[in-house]
Amino acid sequence: MTDDVPKIELHLHLEGAAPPAFIKGLAQEKSIRLDGVFSENGSYAFTGFEQFLRTYEAATSVLKTPEDYARLTRAVLEQSAEQGVIYTEAFLSPDFCGGRDVGAWREYLAAMQEAAAGMRNEAGIVLRGVVTCIRHFGPEKARETALCAAETAGDFITGFGIAGDEMAGKPADFAYSFDMAREAGLELTAHAGEWGGASSVRDALRDLKPTRIGHGVQVIDDPVLVDHLIETGVTLEVCPGSNIALGVYPSWDKHPIETLRSAGVRVTVSTDDPPFFHTTLRREYDRLADTFGWDDEIVREVNRTAAQAAFCDPETRAELLLKLESTA
């Protein structure tokens, strides 16, 4: 039913969205052995968070060159377009694309951008990049990443964010990097409130001043903060299937997305690292329909929220909103 509503995805890690068959093929081409990465049915194999990280690192270690990233971009956008996604923002990491060297980063970026332009022509899907520093790599490396972001801010790179281990360091350690990105005209998002509790969202909002929070679901434990989100219009990039796969919440009916949405928090739906969590955007919405009775009108409203919170130019936003309304 919800298949008719075009989807807008705001929280997707490019490497984490790599289809297993794509990674397997690339490993074979390069004669790289990937022991224990795939299950018998061809999906990514792991149980628990520690093993998830090991599998993720092993799988993404085969991605090395700008050409690999061009092919990855294409494979990910093909997968998203099949899910009815018309606009997606991907987290891109200069750490993995040229080791935070601005010149090398430009080469990776050009390759990804060209692949994205091709997919826009072929499938109508629009991609924007959010450069992301990795929290557990520390604030010094984050500054280099922020410089890569600032130097390439423009039509394609429109945002800056922070991902990685939420328990490592404090948001304030990364304020300098966020300031640099903001001054370069980039919009801001920060992973918080997935593992670090409601206080991690409070800290991120205070010290980094993002307009969006990646996950943020644990604000549910702090009613004052929930009210603050409603008042300020901060948007949450909620990834329910990811939260359940990693054990943040035990089951769909225990997930707070519907409580937050009906309270008036601006929530959106994304897949995070979909093949790793055995999910797709369609599956997320199907489960939300089954669990909370989400109908087309709610799905449209959530995607309207996503269009309004997207890190894009006004023309692109108007196009997205028009596409959403024209299928009503």
Which residues of this protein are in contact with Zn ion, per CB under 5 A? 272
Active site residue 78: no
Least distance in Å: CB of 237 to Zn ion?
8
Given the structure tokens 């390439």, which residue do they identify? 152
Cβ closest to Zn ion, residue 98 vs residue 161: 161
Angstrom distance (rounded) from CA 205 to CA 212: 9
Cβ of residue 323: shortest distance to Zn ion, in angstroms? Answer: 25
Nearer to Zn ion (CB atom), residue 35 or residue 50:
50
> Please, which residue, 198 or 248, has the CB nearer to Zn ion?
248
Please provide the DSSP assignment of 156-184 as one string: TEEEEEEES-TTSS-GGGGHHHHHHHHHT
Q: Shortest distance, CB of residue 164 to Zn ion, whole angstroms?
A: 9
**DSSP β-ladder status, 85-92 and 126-134:** parallel
C-alpha torsion 149→14→88→134, nearest 10:
-40
Distance CA 171, CA 208 (A): 7
d(CA 94, CA 253): 37
- Rounded CA gap, 281 and 231, in Å? 28
- CB of 242 vs Zn ion, minimal distance in Å: 7
| Residue number, 144 or 272, with CB nearest to Zn ion | 272
Q: In the complex, what is the shortest distance from the CB of residue 214 to Zn ion, in angstroms, rounded to a whole number? A: 5
Whole-number CA gyration radius for the chain: 18
Considering the complex, state which of residue 203 and residue 272 has its C-beta at the smaller distance from Zn ion: 272
Other Cβ atoms closer than 10 A to 54:
14
In this complex, which beta carbon is closest to Zn ion, that of residue 203 or of residue 237? Answer: 237
- Provide the minimum distance between the beta carbon of 103 and Zn ion in the complex, in angstroms, as a whole number: 28
Look at residue 85 and give its three-state secondary structure.
strand
Q: CA–CA separation, 226 vs 220, rounded Å? A: 7
Find the angle CA(37)-CA(19)-CA(40) to the nearest 5 degrees: 40
From the list 89, 144, 194, 237, the catalytic residue is: 194
Q: Which residues make Cβ contacts (< 8 Å) with residue 126, sequence separation at least 6?
A: 86, 87, 88, 120, 312, 316
Residues taking part in catalysis:
194
